[in-house]
């Protein structure tokens, strides 16, 4: 009975040390409005944003403050603006893998104009924890009936994939929907509410479970030796 209680307490203690999945919404609300250049590093929750691009490559802003270019309307909270053909890469600050379930995004036009149809795609690419590369493409809608760009929600095609690093870029498209070369500072997008969940990599779980198995074996051997000694003494 005592031995079973010891094993139960040990299993519970080790279970508490296992890193749990941590869900977060990366919404940029805790960040001050600012402009970023390529190579700058931003942090939101336990995730790093590496800005990719040349010159003024991005900004934290909102619909009310974004008045130089044609930004999406109706979002009073902060969002990230990737400008001048730029993008960014996400990774976990603690070097954990992570899941991606959804995000909100919109095209940002360099000048105000009436575009009621899709003319761009968001490109989400990178690698998973097995270093397998992937790329997903999402059509960014055109303006609504009021002539405004607005955020749309997008769901990932493989929400169970564990990512190591993910990049977000956009491209303008041809009439057939194919991406054209990124140039002339025409491809810009806004992004908000990226739903992520940091998860321990399988190797971490395996090591901890192997540790539990080893401790269990040692305790069983010790218990057996104690029983044998008791039998000899009697």
pLDDT tens digits, 138-159: 999 999 999 999 999 999 988 8
User: Under CATH, which number does the domain 21-199 receive?
Assistant: 2.60.120.1350
pLDDT of residue 88: 97
Distance (Å, whole) CA 214 – CA 35: 53
**Percent of residues, the chain, with pLDDT higher than 90:** 57
Residue 190 has pLDDT above 70, yes or no: yes
Mean pLDDT of 22-40: 94
DSSP string, 198-217: EE--HHHHHHHHHHHHHHHH
Q: What tokens were used for 131? A: 């270093």
CA atoms of 68 and 110, how far apart (whole Å):
8
Segment 83-138, tens digit of pLDDT: 989 999 999 999 999 999 999 999 998 888 899 999 999 999 999 999 999 999 99
Residue 224's pLDDT is: 58
Q: Give me the mean pLDDT over the 169-175 stretch.
A: 92
Q: Indicate if the pLDDT at residue 8 is higher than 80.
A: no
Sign of CA pseudo-dihedral 19, 23, 26, 30: negative
Tens-digit pLDDT profile for residues 194-219: 999 999 765 444 444 444 555 556 56
């Amino acid at each position: 009975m005592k031995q079973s209680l010891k094993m139960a307490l040990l299993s519970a203690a080790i279970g508490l040390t296992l890193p749990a999945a941590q869900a977060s919404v990366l919404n940029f609300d805790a960040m001050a409005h600012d402009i970023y250049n390529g190579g700058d590093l931003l942090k939101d929750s336990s995730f790093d944003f590496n800005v990719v691009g040349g010159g003024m490559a991005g900004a934290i802003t909102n619909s009310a403050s974004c008045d130089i270019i044609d930004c999406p309307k109706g979002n009073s909270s902060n969002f990230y603006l990737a400008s001048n053909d730029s993008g960014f890469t996400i990774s976990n600050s603690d070097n954990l893998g992570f899941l991606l379930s959804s995000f909100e995004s919109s095209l940002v036009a360099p000048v105000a104009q009436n575009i009621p149809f899709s003319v761009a795609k968001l490109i989400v690419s990178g690698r998973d924890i097995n270093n397998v590369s992937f790329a997903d493409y999402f059509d960014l809608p055109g303006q609504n009936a009021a002539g405004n760009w607005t955020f749309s929600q997008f769901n990932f095609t493989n929400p169970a994939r564990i990512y190591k690093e993910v990049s977000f870029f956009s491209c303008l498209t041809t009439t057939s929907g194919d991406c054209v070369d990124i140039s002339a500072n025409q491809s810009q997008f806004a992004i908000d509410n990226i739903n992520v969940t940091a998860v321990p990599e399988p190797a971490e779980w395996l090591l901890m479970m192997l540790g539990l198995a080893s401790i269990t074996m040692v305790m069983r051997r010790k218990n057996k030796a104690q029983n044998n000694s008791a039998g000899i003494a009697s």
